[in-house]
Amino acid sequence: MHTFEIREKFYLDGEPFTILSGSIHYFRVHPTDWHHSLYNLKAMGFNTVETYVPWNLHEPKPGEFNFQGMCDLAAFLDEAAELGLWAIVRPSPFICAEWEWGGFPAWLLEDRSMRPRSRDPKFLARVASYYDALMPILVERQITRGGNIIMMQVENEYGSYCEDKDYLRAIRDLMLERGVNVPLCTSDGPWRGCLRAGTLIDDDVFVTGNFGSRSAENFKNLKAFHEEHGKNWPLMCMEFWDGWFNRWAENVIRRDAQDLADCVRELFELGGSINLYMFHGGTSFGFMNGCSARHTHDLPQLTSYDYDAVLNEEGNPTEKWYKLRDVVRDLFPHAWTAEPLVKEATSQEGIALDARAGLFENLDALDPEPVRSFYPQPMEAMGQGYGYTLYRTSIERDVAPEAEERIRVIDGRDRAQVFVNGTLVAAQYQEHIGEDIRCTLPEEQCRLDILMENMGRVNYGHKFLADTQRKGIRTGVCVDLHFVTGWEAWRLPLEDISRIDFNAGWQSGQPSFSHFTFNLDEPTDTYVDSTGFGKGVVFVNGVNIGRFWEKGPIYTLYVPHGITHAGTNELVVFETEGTVSDTISLRSEPLIKQLDKEGVE
């Protein structure tokens, strides 16, 4: 049986050991590609894989756990072990990771008396229940049990959020009580304020830092903090940022490959260990993209988590891979290296529309039991966490037929589209929701529909627990000066679109589902080109592959070969703006456009 220790150095089986690790989030890579990504990590000369564990995927509803398919953490770790890779697992309740609400399940928001990510006993009880299901998978794969897990994380960048040591100790104790006995760690910004607030250094929990350059300066600060507390520990960067994530209407962020290689070389020459964040970024499939918190309004992130990482979104090596392998070969000549695995993607032009159906015509098919309430309810209060909600009521005209009525959505998130008798009268994003919507009412009694979209909850920062993370309409809707009552709400997480009736009809300018089919000789990677469509999500063979938006900068959605099959494949585009095309194309590589300062091509 192998051993792993943290003293003045890392020791594996009693010998000094440098951790050469790369981040691969199993939940962002299709299981049919896990071997491809892990092999390419090993072939670059690295010896360890690191992953977060997303609570919201593993416990989608309270007490209902999922460890199958994309969530099969055990299979991912076993694949890594078979390739000879060690593993660092970060199973903290909060993961950040540019992931929806930092990995917390949305159903936690139903209890307004609970304070997540704190010492609140009600929250810790929920974590304990989750760990009862999760920890047996990890415990039996620890190096102390003959497995490949050498280290686990207690909390993630907690020093950038709070300084509640009792909470940190409670999470640690929940892990220990369930059999975790490999070294534990925390990771924080490498300056004293973050390290003091976010670590358990006095409890002998190993302290690491997160940064992407200036290793000498950052390691100096980290070492000083270690020494301040009487520790002579090795130096490790738990997240060495080799790229960055992207948001809508902002240009894709790139990092020069040689600059990265030089900075990684500097870290190794200082005697440090590394975890590259990300080695393979992958894709935030479905509605799982995170959101950056800002003072006035939040900035949702893209579906693509390419991250300008060492492997691209598809999992193929970039220039960074080859330059980093050169560094490894130079500084670690005994490390095993090899040529990488490379996949090919397919393309098809001008796939013709089969059918189109309206959202309004399919509400009851998608949610046969709409919620009826006096005032509109937020999404979470109706048992929904993600996607869209359609609110409906009837309003009476109180002004002359030619005069404009005043409508306001009070306290809603994140995006509202307001329809009167099926005609769009306004679309408002966060910073505009609540402003006057003025329109004429065509009849004495009119139907008012409001489609609300959750565009992603914040995954980092001071707004993590703000009420803005509850989505939908939270207070109500005013016509003139009074709140309107008597509402129906259709919950639209779009988890199952098989019940859509494509013969139900569709009205131009309204949200719709466009149905296409394409044929393949064998399963293959591809990219769906969203050009010609406004905003929405795409499904391939019933799987939500993520969001698109004509604001860019990326106009394609990656489809892994594991979602496709030989023969006829189904592609459905849900589009909310009424901007649709009668053809769609598949591409062999992503379509990325440079935007100007105003976010225009």
Do 481 and 583 sit in the same domain of this protein?
no
CATH code at 290?
A: 3.20.20.80
Domain count, the chain: 3
Residue 377 forms part of a structural domain: yes
Tell me the pTM.
Answer: 0.97
* 521: nearest Cα among 558, 569, 590: 569
Do 528 and 449 sit in the same domain of this protein?
no
Low-confidence ranges of the chain (pLDDT < 50): none
**In 3-state terms, the chain is what percent helix, strand and coil (to 5)?**
25, 30, 45
Do 468 and 369 sit in the same domain of this protein?
yes
Residue 596 forms part of a structural domain: no
SS3 assignment for 165-230 = HHHHHHHHHHHHHCCCCCCEEEEECCCHHHHHHHCCHHHCCEEEEEECCCHHHHHHHHHHHHHHCC
Please indicate whether residue 59 is annotated as part of the active site.
Answer: no
Residue 515 forms part of a structural domain: yes
Do 380 and 427 sit in the same domain of this protein?
yes
Do 317 and 440 sit in the same domain of this protein?
no
Residue 569 forms part of a structural domain: yes
Q: Helix 121-139 crosses helix 73-82 at what angle (to 10 degrees)? A: 40
Residue where a domain stops, chosen among 463, 492, 521: 492
Do 468 and 480 sit in the same domain of this protein?
yes
Residue 281 forms part of a structural domain: yes
Please indicate whether residue 239 is annotated as part of the active site.
Answer: yes
Which two tokens mark 254? 């790139």
Paired sense of beta strands 405-413 and 437-439, if any: antiparallel
Residue 595 forms part of a structural domain: no
Residue 91 forms part of a structural domain: yes
Given the residues 50, 98, 155, 157, select the one marked as catalytic.
157
Do 306 and 205 sit in the same domain of this protein?
yes
Q: What is the pLDDT of residues 349-387, one digit of tens each?
A: 999 999 999 999 999 999 999 999 999 999 999 999 999
Residue 497 forms part of a structural domain: no
Do 303 and 421 sit in the same domain of this protein?
no
Residue appearing with tokens 């860019």:
552
Looking at residue 121, its pLDDT comes to: 98
Given the residues 239, 361, 380, 577, select the one marked as catalytic.
239
Do 322 and 406 sit in the same domain of this protein?
no
Residue 236: domain span: 4-244+252-331
What does DSSP assign to residue 531? T
Looking at residue 230, its pLDDT comes to: 98
Do 415 and 270 sit in the same domain of this protein?
no
Do 313 and 394 sit in the same domain of this protein?
no
Do 166 and 315 sit in the same domain of this protein?
yes
CATH code at 547?
A: 2.60.120.260
